Amino acid sequence: MILTTGQPFWLTEQGLVRYPVLTEDLSCDVAIVGGGITGAFLGYYLTRAGLRAVVLEGRYVGGGSTSASTAMCQYELDVDLIDLREKLGTSRANDAYLANVYAVHELGRLCREQLPDPCSYEYCRSFYLASRERDAGHLHDEGEARRGIGIDAEYLERAELLRRYQLQAPAALLSGDTAQVDPYRLTHTLLAEAAKQGLRVFERTPVQHCATEADGQSVTVHAGERRIRARHVVVCTGYEADNLVPRDLVNLHSTYVVISQPGEMSGLPTGNAQIWETARPYLYTRTTADGRIMVGGRDEVVKSAAFQNTVLEHKVDKLEKQFQDLFARETPFTRDFVWAGVYGETDDGLPYIGAHKDFPRHQFALGYGGNGTTYSLLATEIICAALTSRPHRYAATFGFDRVGG
């Protein structure tokens, strides 16, 4: 599957970072299948935990969904807290939100205190706008629910939104616990640091299948003519994993993104705050370290890469108009890059993380939903804890038991 079309900004700006192709059989403690940001987190954390790990990427490391990601690091999920409680029960829903609050700040600690490059990580705020008048009451109740579990979320009515931020919406929740990062740079920074500790990374090494050995103590990973014998396999191939993951977990969608030229963020009355809305599909915005404005949305069910290319121009025209309609005054926006990417959506908006009964000695880090970056970090911590026989507070929150796995 082609995961991106157009010119993904991160990849275009920084260029393709290259890794060798696997040319020999190997053995290791953990084989990580997938070389996006999740695979990079896993390689970094598992290597630091003392495990011999290998990352196997079928194409180019970080060149798939990671390169097209907007990397909006939010605690807010695609399914509101009060709705998620109806789907999963109060305890699990609360934990899903609190896990993402934790992940936003843990990612900040990693980027700012542990890695040599902070990868443009910065904290910001988030406006969650009511798209229609009837959504205002729902947002009010949502804010009360979030505050009830200790999350700071300020409810703003129309007049205050307009006066303070020039935003035209019936109401909004204004939250902290939000950040943004450069996902492509973060991917390669993690891998470079882990390589110093022995991590091995291979590109253009597609995995066909993984077979648990008869003794149940290891897995053989088949990558073309090469074999990797591993004690465990972690699958984090995202939306290209049909032959490696449990079936029927996700619906695939295309999303479209346009980004402005540098410096135009200075004209935003909301500063570097992120914006999204209650409508589904929703418009979303963020800014970058060099002052660009990124606008995405107009999502739809995946058809084909050719279709994405055909409609890309039309989609970004609509996105730019929607963006201008958010504000009471015109905001400078000069188009620079446009692209489309693929993401997956589950019924409850949560990822699937952990073991599955039908796949012995496998762990899965399937970060479906709109919180890919925070889910990647959570999946890494949960899986690393499982493979080193340690508990993790959120190990049960995102498990396969939601679909009988």
Q: What is the structure's pLDDT at 8?
A: 87
CATH number at residue 48: 3.50.50.60
Question: Quick one: 216 and 289 in the same domain?
Answer: no
Spatial separation of the C-alpha atoms in residues 120 and 184, rounded to whole Å = 11
Same domain, 384 and 244: yes
In which residue are the tokens 């695609």 written? 78
> Would you state the pLDDT for residue 347?
80
**pLDDT for 3 beyond 50:** no
DSSP of 174-204, one letter per residue? EEEEEEE--HHHHHHHHHHHHHTTT-EEESS
pLDDT level of residue 395 (50, 70, 90 thresholds): very high
Average the pLDDT over 369-394 and give the result: 93
Tell which residue, 10, 41, 359, 366, has the closest CA to residue 183. 10
**Residue located via tokens 């804890």:** 385
Residue 102 covered by a domain: no
Q: What is the 3-class SS of 72-108, one letter each residue?
A: EEECCCCCCHHHHHHHHCHHHHHHHHHHHHHHHHHHH
Write the pLDDT tens digit of every residue in 23-82.
999 999 999 999 999 999 999 999 999 999 999 999 999 998 899 889 999 999 999 999
**323 and 272: one domain?**
yes
Judgement on whether residues 244 and 355 belong to the same structural domain of the protein: yes
Q: What is the mean pLDDT of the chain?
A: 92
Q: Are the C-beta atoms of 384 and 360 separated by less than 8 Å?
A: no
For the cut 80, the answer to whether the pLDDT of residue 342 exceeds it is no
Q: Evaluate whether residue 90 is within a structural domain.
A: no
Does residue 124 sit within a domain? no
Q: Are residues 142 and 133 in contact, defined by beta-carbon separation less than 8 angstroms?
A: no
Is there a domain that residue 85 lies in? Answer: no
Cα distance between residue 199 and residue 55, in whole Å: 8
- Is residue 164 domain-resident? no
> Which residues partner with 342 through β-bridges?
254
Q: Considering 318, 345, 372, which residue would you say is the last residue of a domain? A: 345
* pLDDT > 50? residue 1: no
- Same domain for 235 and 361? yes
Q: 321 in helix, strand or coil? A: helix
Number of domains in the chain: 2
Q: Are residues 255 and 244 in the same domain?
A: no
Is the CB of residue 344 less than 8 Å from the CB of residue 251? yes
For residues 350 and 314, the answer to whether their CB atoms sit within 8 Å is no
Q: Residue 35 carries which DSSP code?
A: -
Shared domain for 387 and 333, answered yes or no, is no
Please tell me whether residues 264 and 333 are part of one structural domain: yes
**CB-CB contact of 169 with 130 (8 Å):** yes
* End-to-end Cα, the chain, rounded Å: 26
Q: Last residue of a domain, which of 317, 345, 373? A: 345
Cis peptide before 351 (omega within 30 of 0): no
Q: Are 209 and 290 part of one and the same domain? A: no
Q: Is the pLDDT of residue 2 over 50?
A: no
Q: Do both 340 and 261 map to the same domain? A: yes
For residue range 233-256, what is the model confidence (pLDDT) as tens digits? 999 986 555 566 666 677 777 889
Any domain includes 103: no
Counting residues of the chain whose pLDDT is more than 90, the rounded percentage is 78
The average pLDDT across 210-231 equals 95
- Whether pLDDT at 115 is above 60: yes
Q: Are 171 and 139 in contact (CB under 8 A)?
A: yes
Cα–Cα distances (Å) from 43 to 40, 288, 332, 373, 384, in that order, read 5, 26, 41, 15, 10
* Average pLDDT value for residue range 326-344: 90
Q: Which domain holds residue 191?
A: 15-69+184-249+351-400
Residues 295 and 233 in one domain: no
DSSP tag of 265: G
Burial label for 317, CB within 10 Å (0-12, 13-18, 19+), is middle
pLDDT, tens digit, 9 for 90 and up, residues 72-112: 999 999 999 999 999 999 999 999 999 999 999 999 999 99
Between CA 295 and CA 97 the distance in angstroms is: 24
Q: Distance between CA atoms of 61 and 203, rounded to whole angstroms?
A: 6
The residue ranking higher by pLDDT, 363 or 343, is 363
β-strands 171-180, 72-74 pairing: antiparallel
pLDDT higher than threshold 50 for residue 158: yes
* pLDDT value of position 348: 86
